[in-house]
Amino acid sequence: MDRGEREAGALPSRMTVETAHRGRRRSAHTLTELPQRTGDKRSLQRSRSVGALRDDTSKRQRRGSDGHAVWQEWFDEAKENAGRVWDSVSRFGMKLKSSADHLLEEVSRALDSDDEKPHKTVTSHDGDTGSCDSVTLPSRCKSRLDPANRFWFHHGFSAFPMRISLALSLVPLVGSVTPPTDTIVSIKSGGKDVDVSQLPTMLAKAGYTPDPEVASFLETAEITTLEYVHSQVVQTPPHTIGTEALCSFVTSASSKLSLQSECSKDVNAAVTSQLDPDLHVNDPYARDQRHLKLMKMGEVWRLASPHVTRNVKVAVLDSGIDWTDRDFAPLKGRLRKKSGGYLEGGWNFFTNSSVLTNGYDHGTPVCKILAAKGNNSVGIAGVAPNVTLVPLQMVGDNGAAPLSKFFAALNMAMDLEVDVISMSLAYGLRYMNYSEKAMLWQALAAAQQKGIVLVSGAGNWAEEASNIYPCWYGGPNSLCVAYMWDDNGRNTFHANSNWGDRVDVAAYGYDILTGVDKDGNERTFGGSSASTPIVAGLAAILLSMDVEPSMVKRCIVHNTDPVYAVEGKPQRIRGGAVNALKTVQYAIRWLSSKPRGLRGSDKFN
C-alpha cells in the first residue's frame, strides 16, 4: 500500500514579510535630549538656540533674502553651536572614562593582592577565576580596552568615542559567562566509599608517586560529597585540571590500589519539553504534527479523558516495528490468548516468533501515526493515547504480503481478542479466483462477528475502490478510508486517492510527520496507509470510552465534514472528512444518556 503514497508536490505557501521602519525623527530627538540628561544647562540652551536659528532662517526666506547668503549664515552659526554641544558631550565622555579607568585600577589592585592566595576560591557562575569572561576582571583583560581607544584616536575622533569603546569592551565581560565544568566520581574499597582527595596519600603510602599536578589540585579543589548516591562532584574548571586528566588519574590510581571506580564528565539532561500550545503534549516534534492540530486533537483528548475506562488492544497487520523505540516501548504488552498461553508484544508470521523485523519500512510509520506514546518528551504523539499495540507482522522485509499470512494474522488477532485491526494494505480482487475471494470474505466476516472494528485503506490509484479488499468488503464494524489534504482550509481529496460508494470516510494522508531519522531530519509518510491509522486511532479512543463496537462506525461516519473532489475527478464517498472533535462530542452525549454505556444497532452498513 505504500507505493505511490509519497506523491511529491510542493504545497503553495504564502509569506508576508513586515519591516519595521525607523525614521530620523527619533534619532534627532535623542540627540537633542542628550545634554539635558547630562545636566548641562548651557548645552541645552545652545541646542534650543539652533531651533531658534531655524525659525529666524525661515523668516529671512519669507522676506525674499538672497538664498545663498542666508544658508551660508545659518550653516556657520549652526556649526558653531554644534561644536559647543559636542565639546560638552566630550567633557561628559572624559568624565565617564576617568571613572571607568579609576574602577579598573581598583579592580587590578584587588586582583594583584589576591595573587598570593591559595587556588581554592569561590568562583563566579562561570567557574573560571582566570578567564576574561568571568565577573571579575583580571588585569590582562584591561588591555583589551587600549586597542579600541587607539583606533578612535588614529581616526581623528575626540574624547567622546572613548565612551563607546569602553562599552564595547565590557560586553564580553557580561554576556559570555559559561557554567562550571564538573566531574563526577565514585570510588569504592570493599563496599565503602573512598574520598577522591585521599588518592594521592593512599598512592604514596603504597609506594607510588602520585601525579604532583593532580595532587596539588585535589588539595584545594571544591569537592561535594553525595553520601546517599555514593558519589562526589569535583569542580574542574578548564584552566586547572580538566575532567579527562582527573578521570585518567582516578582510573590509574584505582588500578594500582585495587579500588572500584567510575569517573565521568558532567552532562546535561534534556529538560522536559514545553507543552505544545495546541496539543498540550511535551513531545518535541508535536509542534510539527499539523494533522493533529487540524483535527483539534488536543481538545479531543481533553474531552475524552474523563470518560476513558480501559486500554484498547489495537492489532496492526503490516511489517514489523522496533520495540526499543521509546515511542513504542510503553505500548508493548503481555497478551493472553483465548486458545491458551501468552504472546509477548507481537508476532512475526515469517519466522514464527515474537521477534519482529522492520526491513520494509511501512509498519513503523503506520504504528507511529496510530499510537506513538504521547507526553513522554520523545518523538511525536499518536492519535490514540490509551492502547496496547499488537503488531502482527504479515508483510515481509521484501514487501511481500501473502494471503496465507494475512489469514494467519487475522486468526491470531481474534485469538488475542483485540478491539481494533488496522490494515494499511490492499488485495486486488480481480487477481483472485473464486475460492480465494470466498475465504477472504469469510475471514473478514468472522472478525466483525467477534466485535472487532476493522479499518482499512481505500488505495492510492486514483480510481474507484471496488476492486480493493478488505476495504470494499464493508460491514457494520468496518471502515474504509480514503485520504485527503488541507487545501487552504478546505478538506480536499488527494488526486491519487481512490473513492467509491463503499468508502466511508476520508482522513489526512498527505505529508504526515512520523518522526526523525538518525541525522535529525523529519520523516513523513502519506497515502491511505497514513489515513487508515488515523481513523483506527479515533476508533480506539471511542472504544476506550466504553462506546460499543457496533456504534463506532456510526459515531465516526455521522459526524463528518464535507470533503471536496479534485477538479475533473469523480471523487465521491459515502461519508465525508473525519471530524474527531465532533465525533467525540457526539459519543459523550450518547454515553451520558445511557446508564450502562452506549447501545447501538449492528444494521448499519
The more confident residue out of 28 and 62 is 62
- Is the predicted pLDDT of residue 155 greater than 90, yes or no? no
How far apart, in whole angstroms, are the C-alpha atoms of residue 542 and residue 455?
A: 14
The pLDDT, as a whole number, for residue 163 is 35
3-class DSSP state of 428: strand
The pLDDT, as a whole number, for residue 107 is 56
CA dihedral (470, 475, 478, 480) in degrees, to 10, reads: 60
How far apart, in whole angstroms, are the C-alpha atoms of residue 575 and residue 501?
A: 9
- Fold match flag (181-266 vs 286-593): no
318: annotated active-site residue: yes
Q: Pick the catalytic residue from 318, 327, 419, 511.
A: 318
On the 0-12 / 13-18 / 19+ scale of CB atoms within 10 A, 179 is exposed
The more confident residue out of 366 and 22 is 366
Quick one: pLDDT band at residue 276, thresholds 50, 70, 90? confident
The pLDDT, as a whole number, for residue 541 is 98
The more confident residue out of 472 and 69 is 472
Arithmetic mean of pLDDT, 270-280: 73
Q: Are strands 478-487 and 453-457 parallel, antiparallel or unpaired?
A: parallel
The pLDDT, as a whole number, for residue 594 is 80
The pLDDT, as a whole number, for residue 44 is 39
The pLDDT, as a whole number, for residue 237 is 81
Q: Pick the catalytic residue from 128, 165, 362, 419.
A: 362
The pLDDT, as a whole number, for residue 238 is 73
DSSP tally for the chain: helices H, then strands E: 17, 19
Q: Pick the catalytic residue from 186, 261, 528, 529.
A: 529
Cβ atoms of 474 and 449 closer than 8 Å: no
Beta-bridged to residue 185, according to DSSP, are 232, 263
- Is the predicted pLDDT of residue 134 greater than 60, yes or no? no
- The winner for highest mean pLDDT among 60-64, 487-491, 531-535 is 531-535
H-only helix segments in 548-603: 549-557, 580-593
How far apart, in whole angstroms, are the C-alpha atoms of residue 34 and residue 44?
A: 9
- Is the predicted pLDDT of residue 470 greater than 90, yes or no? yes
Q: How many CB atoms lie within 10 A of CB 529?
A: 31
CATH of the structural domain 181-266, one choice from 3.30.70, 3.30.230, 3.40.5, 3.40.50: 3.30.70
The pLDDT, as a whole number, for residue 38 is 39
Q: How many CB atoms lie within 10 A of CB 554?
A: 18
- Is the predicted pLDDT of residue 605 greater than 70, yes or no? no
Entry pTM: 0.58
The pLDDT, as a whole number, for residue 75 is 63
Cβ atoms of 367 and 283 closer than 8 Å: no
Domain boundaries, the chain: 181-266, 286-593
529: annotated active-site residue: yes
The more confident residue out of 172 and 443 is 443
The more confident residue out of 312 and 49 is 312
- Report the chain's mean pLDDT, rounded to a whole number: 79
- Is the predicted pLDDT of residue 61 greater than 80, yes or no? no
- Is the predicted pLDDT of residue 128 greater than 90, yes or no? no
The pLDDT, as a whole number, for residue 78 is 66
Arithmetic mean of pLDDT, 11-37: 33
Quick one: pLDDT band at residue 136, thresholds 50, 70, 90? very low
How far apart, in whole angstroms, are the C-alpha atoms of residue 507 and residue 486?
A: 10
The pLDDT, as a whole number, for residue 106 is 59
The pLDDT, as a whole number, for residue 123 is 32
Quick one: pLDDT band at residue 127, thresholds 50, 70, 90? very low
Which residues touch 309 (CB under 8 Å, ≥6 apart)? 544, 545, 546
The more confident residue out of 311 and 595 is 311
End-to-end Cα spacing for the chain: 25
How far apart, in whole angstroms, are the C-alpha atoms of residue 392 and residue 425?
A: 13
Arithmetic mean of pLDDT, 279-308: 96
Beta-bridged to residue 223, according to DSSP, are 234
How far apart, in whole angstroms, are the C-alpha atoms of residue 370 and residue 453?
A: 15
Query: Which residue is listed with cell 582510573?
Result: 251
How far apart, in whole angstroms, are the C-alpha atoms of residue 369 and residue 371?
A: 6
The pLDDT, as a whole number, for residue 51 is 47
The pLDDT, as a whole number, for residue 135 is 34
Quick one: pLDDT band at residue 495, thresholds 50, 70, 90? very high
Arithmetic mean of pLDDT, 363-387: 96
3-class DSSP state of 223: strand
Tell me: the pLDDT tens digits for 231-267? 999 998 877 888 989 999 999 999 999 999 999 988 7
CATH of domain 286-593: 3.40.50.200
Cβ atoms of 222 and 246 closer than 8 Å: no
- Is the predicted pLDDT of residue 101 greater than 80, yes or no? no
Q: How many CB atoms lie within 10 A of CB 323?
A: 17
CA distances from 470 to 313, 437, 598 (A): 20, 10, 27
Which range, of 88-92, 474-478, 498-502, 548-552, averages the lowest pLDDT?
88-92
Arithmetic mean of pLDDT, 172-188: 64
The pLDDT, as a whole number, for residue 162 is 37
